Structure 1
Amino acid sequence: MAVNKAVIGTSIVLALAAPALAETPKPVTPVNLLPPTLQTQTPAPASPVVPPTVAAPAAIPAQPAPAWTLGNASALLAFIQGVGTRGLNPADYGPDALQAAIKAGEGTALNDLATLAFTQLLVDLRDGRTPYTARVQWFIRDPDAATFPTDEMLRKALDSHDIEGVFASVEPTHPDYAALKAALATTKDTVRQQIIKTNMDRWRWLPHDLGKRYVYVNVPEYIVRVVGKGKNIATYRAIVGAPKTATPQLDAQAIGMIIHPTWTIPQSIIKESVGALITNNPAAARARGYTWTGSGKNLSVVQKFGPGNSLGMMKMDMPNPHAIFLHDTPARNLFDRSVRALSHGCIRTDRAVEFAILMSILQADFDPHEAATLFKRGLNDRIPFTEPVQVFINYFTMASNGDGKLNSFADIYGRDAPVIASFAQPRQDKIVTTPAIVVPIEAPGA
């Protein structure tokens, strides 16, 4: 649907100006809902990603390596020698051995060495050089290995004699990747170089193309963006997980907006505070909108929708195994803080009503006044999207705000260090598959 951004902005402001709305417009930011059976489940906050499960190789007769001409092999060698400009280490791809094989002439040795070097380099440029064990809490699905199959890309490179062009075709298309590459070329400081390389590799962990429209969260930046056709449609401040309840990196499909949501309290928060409140002062617990069944370890608590609900006036319906979602909050004063790592893992979004109305216009073909009416009714409602929109929760410590200028952000969870350390180790041979997504034990709270 073609969207006039000026009309959208005016419509949202008009809709939000209605006296019945309790929210005051400010700057902008994103949330998720699981089925009831998964609402009490979540991952250990700091646990590393489960390595991919590699199936036993099928019994396929060994195939000879493709034939490499001296011209193609020389082009491969030149690319390897210059791959430092892309944040990778040339030594990982055996340039000395390849050079010796080229001098020895065409034949089996050159075919084997060149094919191995091409394959390893393609995998790293396409999917990232960082081993899965160093990608802490990384659960984003990357289809690039299927989109750009290694054997097809090898044949294309050999047939076209355009080795560099084939490698470039699998690299990330997001402008930040190009900006990081340009910054690497002019940076002399070793520490800054390591941070640039780390964030370049993170882009390779993501899909090659994020799509025409998506919601993008950068946790260290405390920002949520709605992106359409490569342009920022809207930007919102965010509150993210505290270090002890860190927000994982994940992707999910948002299928709608929940207006005036209820909140199923996770067990960690029941143990932390809510359980004691119910035991010691049940009247105060009821005044906060809590309803409960059971007791002790079997205590189950739900907070009714309303002005005091911890999820505020909306939450984005984006089912995922980690129970992470974007939602509002009644504590809107916290958005004025510069450091906003405060939540139990979910993403609290500033100007949440505006965000919900914008997404309703873009994804549900709603009139802004129609969406605003649902908020004014004060009931538990849902706006289903006509088609899902992809949500990416990322972790970039160096990124742009959409204008091409790179900014650095504090590494609030200490996730740069494992990536940097992995780059200092010899490259690990790996079969590229999507990491196993483990259903967590308990759902993060607000």
Structure 2
Amino acid sequence: MASLKRFGCSVLAVVAATGLVAQPVVAQKTDTTATPKAKKLSTPTSILPAAQATPQPAATAQPKATPSSAPTPKATPSSVPTAAPTTGPTSAPGGVPPVVPIAAPAPGQPGQHDALLAEPVMSWSLADAKALLQTIGYIGKEGLVPADYQPAALKAAIAKGEGDELDQLASRVFGWLIEDLRDGRTPMTARVQWFAVDPDQDVMPTAQLMAQALSDHDIAGVVDKLAPTNPDYAALKAAYNATPATDKAKRALIQANMDRWRWLARDLGDVYLMTNVPEFQLRLVVKNKIIRTYKTVVGKPGRTATPQLAETVTAVVFNPTWTVPQSIVKGEGLGAKVLNNPGWAKSAGYKATKSADGVITVVQQPGPGNSLGLMKIDMPNPHAIYLHDTPSKQYFNADVRAFSHGCIRTERAVELGMTMAILGAQKTATEAADISRSGQYTKVEMTRTFPVYISYFTFARAIDGQLTSFNDIYGRDKPVLDSFNAPRQLKTTQRASEEEVIKLDNPL
């Protein structure tokens, strides 16, 4: 009962803290897509998520019956939006959450870089246009740039009265505002190795948000409800607005990290795993409360840097095997060594086979010396990145823990795996312990899947709850900071970085 004695009490405490096993877990269809399943809309009459509502089927927001209040879509979409102002912001940036209608590519796949999003054009009353102008005025509190949304041009259009010019301009800047608050202001080209596809524009399309705002005559209300729901975003927002305008460097750093939250789903879910790469920590979060934390070892800078992902836990593998990459089997001569030294190979836990064409395959057998340790979390993705144990526990004692080839080594991994088996596969603590200590390769499929977010925040709440800055170990801040000092770029249908997917043959 070694495993149960070692991990049982801790695992049971974690599981109890989640409050997720008080009732039987209902089996769900395993979701193996690269992106977390988007939450359904909370009500059939509004596309704005309710804080505590039972999910129901989505429905397009319907304008009110009163003719004077109903937004009237124009017969044709707006022409390609005019370019953003050619000068940078003249005041401290502030922001609003954006929601944009978009022809979405397949889940997990980037869109076409040259396909511009087209904001819908609807009829605007003077009162709604004035409300939009007021909303732009305070959007700086969200870390966005008011000048991006052409307040002077909108004011001039309002002075001319209702008509096509006002409809075109107000629709365009409202669409931009939604896009930036929902999806982030930073252009995709400045999001280095960002492959975490944000589903929000599918859940809350711009056209529906605009129709709702105009139908309800509540521009500010619709905009206010688009920000990320995570309390860490609220903490950053409070810090941003409390930081003096004279401290430009700190405000810019907070602003960049507020925007990073918008790159993720507005609502991360009730239960999820999240690791902040520069912090070298993994969290198990339930209903916005950190239940457990684990130290991590992440990828070394360069080609082995860990990419940013939003994936799904589909299985936990206890006592995994490891197929040794050919760069080691052939390049370092391990294959020949295993074949020629059977005694040593057995003691080291290696088995080798040689095919007819001479290719040697080496598999490291389960055991404490296995390079994957005693546990691996399956989260299918094209980068071959996953969470796993390690026999090299000493690296968890380092302050800067960027030693891997991309995958995320996790402290107390067996405890985490047992917790996932209990929460996600309805295993008892005893069953999970028996599997972990069996020494046999065992894959426990999840009946309840969990999102995993591999994020990158250089200013955020640490695991102790305090706002802290973290070293930009991969140099990913500068492109984001530079983008805020440049004119706003028009959004495209691109949903993830178009950089090379670096799949190393040895990601450990």
TM range (shorter): 0.7 to 0.9
1:22-101 matched pairs, under 5 angstroms: 52-53=111-112, 65-101=121-157
For 1:254 and 1:372, the matched residues in 2 are separated by 20
Partner AA of 2:261 in structure 1:
W
2:332 alignment partner, SS class: helix
Task: Choose which of 165, 168, 172 in structure 2 pairs with 1:109.
Answer: 165
The answer to whether the aligner puts 1:359 opposite 2:427 as a matched pair is no
For 2:417 and 2:120, the matched residues in 1 are separated by 56
For 1:363 and 1:149, the matched residues in 2 are separated by 32
1:18-417 matched pairs, under 5 angstroms: 52-53=111-112, 65-188=121-244, 189-244=247-302, 245-267=304-326, 275-278=332-335, 283=341, 287-293=347-353, 300-401=361-462, 404-417=465-478
Stretches of structure 2 that go unaligned for 5 or more consecutive residues are 9-31, 33-107
Partner AA of 1:253 in structure 2:
T
Partner AA of 1:290 in structure 2:
Y
The answer to whether the aligner puts 1:16 opposite 2:77 as a matched pair is no
Q: Paired residue for 2:487?
A: 426
CA contact (8 A) 2:378 2:386 kept: yes
Distance 1:293 1:131, change over 3 A: farther
- Structure 1 residue 431: Cα displacement: 2.6
For 1:436 and 1:387, the matched residues in 2 are separated by 29
Distance 1:53 1:108, change over 3 A: same
Mean Cα deviation higher: 144-153 or 158-167:
158-167
Give TM-score scaled by structure 1 length. Answer: 0.83
For 1:161 and 1:392, the matched residues in 2 are separated by 36
Give TM-score scaled by structure 2 length. Answer: 0.73
1:233 alignment partner, SS class: strand
Distance 1:63 1:82, change over 3 A: closer
1:138 alignment partner, SS class: coil
Partner AA of 2:184 in structure 1:
G
Mean Cα deviation higher: 225-234 or 198-207:
225-234
For 2:120 and 2:390, the matched residues in 1 are separated by 60
For 1:268 and 1:121, the matched residues in 2 are separated by 49
- Structure 1 residue 443: Cα displacement: 4.3
Q: Larger relative contact order (C-alpha < 8 A, sep ≥ 6)?
A: 1
1:348 alignment partner, SS class: strand
Partner AA of 1:391 in structure 2:
V
- Structure 1 residue 263: Cα displacement: 1.2
The structure whose residues are more often helix, as a share, is 1
Partner AA of 1:114 in structure 2:
A
- Structure 1 residue 398: Cα displacement: 1.5
For 1:414 and 1:269, the matched residues in 2 are separated by 30
Q: Paired residue for 2:47?
A: none
Partner AA of 1:215 in structure 2:
L
Mean Cα deviation higher: 123-132 or 300-309:
300-309
CA contact (8 A) 2:4 2:433 kept: no
- Structure 1 residue 401: Cα displacement: 3.5
CA contact (8 A) 1:315 1:327 kept: yes
For 2:448 and 2:440, the matched residues in 1 are separated by 24
CA contact (8 A) 1:187 1:193 kept: yes
Mean Cα deviation higher: 151-160 or 284-293:
284-293
CA contact (8 A) 2:3 2:433 kept: no
Partner AA of 1:309 in structure 2:
N
Partner AA of 1:223 in structure 2:
Q
For 2:418 and 2:456, the matched residues in 1 are separated by 26
Distance 1:306 1:279, change over 3 A: same
- Structure 1 residue 302: Cα displacement: 2.6
CA contact (8 A) 2:328 2:334 kept: no
Distance 1:50 1:297, change over 3 A: farther
Q: Paired residue for 2:80?
A: none
- Structure 1 residue 196: Cα displacement: 0.7
Identity of aligned residues (%): 49
CA contact (8 A) 2:240 2:254 kept: yes
Task: Give deviations 1:259-297, integer Å, cap 9, x for gaps.
Answer: 1101123455557xx624445785366653334456999
For 2:204 and 2:120, the matched residues in 1 are separated by 21
- Structure 1 residue 65: Cα displacement: 2.8
For 2:116 and 2:307, the matched residues in 1 are separated by 31
